Amino acid sequence: MSQNPLLTLQHQHGPLPLDCVQTEDFVPAIDAALEDARKNIAAITENPAPPTFENTILALEASDEWLDRVSSVFFHLLHVDADDALQALAREIPPKLSAFRNDVVMNRQLFERIDTLDQQKASLSLSDEEAMVLENHLLSFRRNGASLSEADQKTLREIDQELSTCSPTFSEHVLKATQAFTLWTDDETVVSALPESAQANAKALAKKEGRDTEWKFTLDAPSFIAFMTYAPDADLRKKIWQAYGSRCVEGEFANQDLIRKILDLRYRRAQLLGYRDHVHYTLERRMAGNRETLEKFYAEMLPVVMPAAHRDLEAVRACKAAEGGDSTLNPWDYAYYAEKCKQQTFELNQEELRPWFELESTLNAVFSLVKRLFSVEFIPTDTLPVNHPEVRCYRVQDVDNGEEVGHLMIDPFPRSTKKPGAWMVALLGQGRWQNEVKRPTVGIVCNFTPPVEGKPSLLTMDEARTLFHEFGHAIHELLSDCHCRSVAGTNVYWDFVELPSQLLENWLQEPEFLREYALHVDSKEPLPEKYIEKIQASKTFQKGYAAARQLTFGLLDLAWYTRQPDELGPDLIAFEQEATRATALFPFQEGVAMSPSFQHIFSGGYASGYYSYKWAEVLEADIFDVFLDKGLYDQETASDLRNEILSQGGSQHPMELFKNFYGREPNPEALLKRDGLIA
């Protein structure tokens, strides 16, 4: 019998065994790592020496190193290769981890040692990072029940145990509902209007099932988006749109009861800890600070965004009306006629641009950008174990001194077992491991248009933008220069974490960058000037609509988590409709709702924090204005960005980091001007 590769992670920091771990390896490894972590915690609390930063805080940070590595493997594979056996473990393993976390943060002896250090901090000569780490741990204990009575702690444990199974189940339902729908067609007139890459992908999916004379379309992003944008058959667009929008509303994978349960548990948890609701609990550790600030943020945005959104929608409606017939614009018409409107207004067809955004050349473009800005380079390597042959790996090193910066893994294409969307994951976080500061291993996971029948993967500009976005997260982790993992890299306030990712997207639409790096897949010729001019002319196209969509998600998130459970009413879909009425751009459709598949707020980390995307846009637009003023590759600005923000992780309050870079607090004017929402 082969050795469990997860057991060897106890004493080594090397690559995670993504290539050889078996499903049956996880439970024994998790159990062993949990036992090891418990012994480490006991050693801290039983230490007769007075508490010091080293014997309490650093020891606490190191207590779960092995558990952290094993958990990283489990959750990464759960998101990228979630077969039925692994999904079954998602109902068994998270409750064990939740119980352990509760054991730690409710440990009174441990809390007392940390509290003692906090009272002595003025005399401890702590660095800014150490002071933040101490504060974070103290607040974590307080915010997770360390000060509660034994009876209330018992209740909190029960709540956390239930929550630990709710999120994986929610995600599992979304994945299975996504997989359950297929649109088959043998009508060549429908398919011929789609991009060549979408046609080839649909044909390849059909051939896999032995249906060579048909085309198969799914709810995976490349297939769904291409169909919604280019398929001329409105009835088929409606069918696939309704399938996407009704995921988990009813039926076998319904999530409505689970939503009620999650909301009730999070509300009860917040109340038990002394907070008005989950929003107040969350915002205490966010830049926004409190619900009133967030409501003011939305109140200032809505009067600017919504008129622009309605103008955008009217332009698309006029485009449809110009074709004759029914001028009613339905939600399943929007993407199709918005693309037509863009083509007519700017003579810009997104599909025409694909040859200049082939995956490999787009990767090289972002590699070159990061090298110019931050002097790090990406060198292909085959030394990292991978879970799928499509995953490509890179060693990241400093150009100036050759020192290792970290490793990067990119998993670009959809699979039936992969979670939808795109994300960055810190497989091994930067910071202290086994008493040495180590460099990180970072993963970027996407669902891009795949290569088909020997033809390369050609990205849309939106897909290229997604790559740049996730790369911004990766750079935040890779350039981190902290000692403690708990504040390193992307371990920052959630309304600050999107700053680097959204910032990096800006270069993709700048003429200077496009002229140099957008190269044709065959000829290697740069993107023609006529296309660059069209991209510039269309920069603010439908930005009002896009902003309204972001506000819709944010307001819905805020509504769910500020209402008491008994205020939701019997109909959750009706509640969603009322919560989003101020930003609704289409009449509500029967049986369709966002919330049952809204993973960000019910099974991700954005509960009471979806506003973070728009908040971070304000920050990054302000910062990119400095590059526009001083130069797209200005070394002084890039150095300041690296030293004052990217390398700092969460070692200081994010507003202080922003002010260290800029010299003032952020101003939303740059964002509103960039998006054409104000003059």
List the catalytic residues: 470
Task: Read off φ and ψ for residue 406, nearest 5 degrees.
Answer: 155, -165
List the structure tokens of 364: 């090289």
Non-local (6+) Cβ contacts of 298 within 8 A are 551, 554, 555, 558, 611
Non-local (6+) Cβ contacts of 440 within 8 A are 406, 407, 426, 427, 428, 429, 430, 477, 478, 480, 488, 489
Query: Number of C-alpha atoms within 13 angstroms, CB side, residue 553?
Result: 20
List the structure tokens of 115: 């509290």
SS3 for 368? helix
Strand-pairing partners, residue 424, are 444
| Residue 55: DSSP 8-state | I
d(CA 32, CA 413) in angstroms, rounded, equals: 34
CA angle 27–29–32, rounded 5-degree value: 110
- Whether the CB-CB separation of 124 and 44 falls below 8 Å is answered with no
Which of 433, 429, 453 has the alpha carbon at shortest distance from 443? Answer: 429
Strand-pairing partners, residue 270, are none
d(CA 626, CA 617) in angstroms, rounded, equals: 15
- Whether the CB-CB separation of 460 and 504 falls below 8 Å is answered with no
List the structure tokens of 210: 């032995």
d(CA 266, CA 118) in angstroms, rounded, equals: 28
Structure-token match 């960005």, residue found: 641
List the structure tokens of 310: 């309605």
Helix (H) or strand (E) holding 19: none
- Whether the CB-CB separation of 651 and 530 falls below 8 Å is answered with no
Tally of helices (H runs) and strands (E runs) in the chain: 29, 9
Burial class (CB in 10 A: 0-12, 13-18, 19+), 139: middle
- Whether the CB-CB separation of 430 and 480 falls below 8 Å is answered with yes
Bridging pattern class, strands 441-445 and 404-411: parallel
d(CA 23, CA 86) in angstroms, rounded, equals: 6
Would you give the end-to-end CA distance of the chain in angstroms? Answer: 69
d(CA 493, CA 550) in angstroms, rounded, equals: 19
| Residue 328: DSSP 8-state | -
